[in-house]
Amino acid sequence: MPRWLPRAMVLALALYACFQLGSWVFHQLIGLLINILIAFFLALAIEPAVGRMAARGMRRGLATFLVFFAVLIASVGFVVLLGSMLAGQIVDMVEDFPQYLDSVIRWINETFHTELSRVEVQDSLLRSDWLRKYVQNSASGVLDISATVLGGLFKLLMIFLFSFYFAADGPRLRRALCSVLPLAKQTEVLRAWEIAVDKTGGYLYSRGLMALISGVAHYILLEILGVPYAPALAVWVGLVSQFIPTIGTYLAGALPMLIAFTVNPWYALWVLGFVVIYQQFENYVLQPKLTAKTVDIHPAVAFGSVVAGTALLGAVGALIAIPAIATLQAFLGAYVKRYDVTDDPRVHSHSRHGARALARGLQALRKGRNAPAGGETGPDDTHDTDDTAGTDGRS
């Protein structure tokens, strides 16, 4: 046995053990890492406001606290307003539910020539096995729901805590990062940080603009249908659909459908159809164009980055994919050498200039193919040149 073989085997086993240990640690800490990533992008989003307040002489810690406090007050006020509205509408819907049920049963009897009654429907529903199983599962799932809510609140508190530290101690964090890098690398890191702040702000601006457009569109629909609380519902749809990824669209559309149902059950179907149609318009037309203008990336890249981010990190990936890709693209664009593009019609749009360039290219190609070996110009060359010139003129 060679002398190096035992040592190589021990080294291979040690590397394999380190890999397994690192993989186990990564999977155990994946939740914490995702929360830190969300907190970092949240800190980048509020960095411009905190920086402007700090530039006027305010301490960064106080400025960060004021920004978070303003966001918290706005969020709590919005939730309380919608909660009171929703509670009142639920009470009205429960009181009027027998009338809704009578109208639905009447429509079924007239359409399908049946003889249903509300008493029979209520008795069959109360005695059904489905309702009994649902009540049992709901009773047993109360603890699970409570644990999920408490876990979500703890994660939210953790995200805000890390985000506060990242924003309040931003200069200290950048100074600590630059202290372990050479001077040239420090410039690149600070430039990347500025690009990330700019792209994250542009992404939030595009989301806010789409929320405004979505709110106005749904407000017009709700006003036409005569649904109460149309302004508050429009704000709800705009904010929730844009700032809660993946499931935000369904949460945003459920509340207007519920309120519309209290006015007329058929209005809920109109709201559902409008939500579905508008969502397709937003996904394939509005969002790519606005994102491309505010974040400066191609619409196809924006759409693909959202799909890839969702596949990798779920809802979190969908939320931070576009600013992350825009930051990476802008940072790498400064280090990619670019050259002048040739005057070839294949890389330009189809226009009159492109047609003339194509004619000149064909002319040069014919002259090169028909030229004598000694470089003399013969009658055939003159004839070809005239033909080509005629072609150029006709073009």
Average pLDDT over residues 245-252: 71
Close Cβ partners of 257 (under 8 Å, ≥ 6 residues apart): 268, 271, 272, 275
- Two tokens at 267? 């209005």
Contact yes or no for 348/357 (Cβ under 8 A):
yes
Does residue 394 have a pLDDT over 50? no
Residue 22 falls inside a structural domain: no
Q: Which of 37, 246, 252 is nearest to 155 (CA)?
A: 37
pTM: 0.62
Residue 23 falls inside a structural domain: no
Judgement on whether residues 55 and 102 belong to the same structural domain of the protein: yes
- Torsion, Cα of 219, 225, 229, 234 (10° steps): -20
Last residue of a domain, one of 338, 363, 385: 338
Close Cβ partners of 341 (under 8 Å, ≥ 6 residues apart): 347
Does residue 23 have a pLDDT over 90? yes
Q: Residue with structure tokens 């779920």? A: 314
Contact yes or no for 345/367 (Cβ under 8 A):
no
More confident residue, 335 or 113: 113
The terminus-to-terminus CA distance of the chain in angstroms comes to 81
DSSP 246: T
Does residue 379 have a pLDDT over 60? no
- Please give the pLDDT value at position 20: 94
Instruction: For residue 131, name the pLDDT band (cuts at 50, 70, 90).
Output: low
Q: Give the rounded percent of residues in the chain with a pLDDT score beyond 90.
A: 8
The three-class DSSP label of residue 151 is helix
Average pLDDT over residues 188-212: 81
Judgement on whether residues 118 and 171 belong to the same structural domain of the protein: yes
Judgement on whether residues 74 and 162 belong to the same structural domain of the protein: yes
Instruction: For residue 117, name the pLDDT band (cuts at 50, 70, 90).
Output: confident
- Please give the pLDDT value at position 66: 92
Residue 17 falls inside a structural domain: no
- Please give the pLDDT value at position 19: 95
Among the ranges given (275-289, 307-321, 374-388), the one the predictor scored with the smallest mean pLDDT = 374-388
Judgement on whether residues 174 and 281 belong to the same structural domain of the protein: no
Judgement on whether residues 154 and 215 belong to the same structural domain of the protein: no
Judgement on whether residues 176 and 186 belong to the same structural domain of the protein: no
Judgement on whether residues 170 and 194 belong to the same structural domain of the protein: no
Residue 108 falls inside a structural domain: yes
Instruction: For residue 3, name the pLDDT band (cuts at 50, 70, 90).
Output: confident
Average pLDDT over residues 314-334: 73
Contact yes or no for 233/227 (Cβ under 8 A):
yes
Among the ranges given (40-54, 126-140, 359-373), the one the predictor scored with the smallest mean pLDDT = 359-373
Rounded Cα gap, residues 240 and 244, in angstroms: 6
Last residue of a domain, one of 338, 366, 386: 338
Question: By residue range, what is the domain housing residue 331?
Answer: 182-338
- Please give the pLDDT value at position 178: 87
Total domains, the chain: 3
Contact yes or no for 49/60 (Cβ under 8 A):
no
More confident residue, 256 or 128: 256
Residue 27 falls inside a structural domain: no
Average pLDDT over residues 58-73: 90
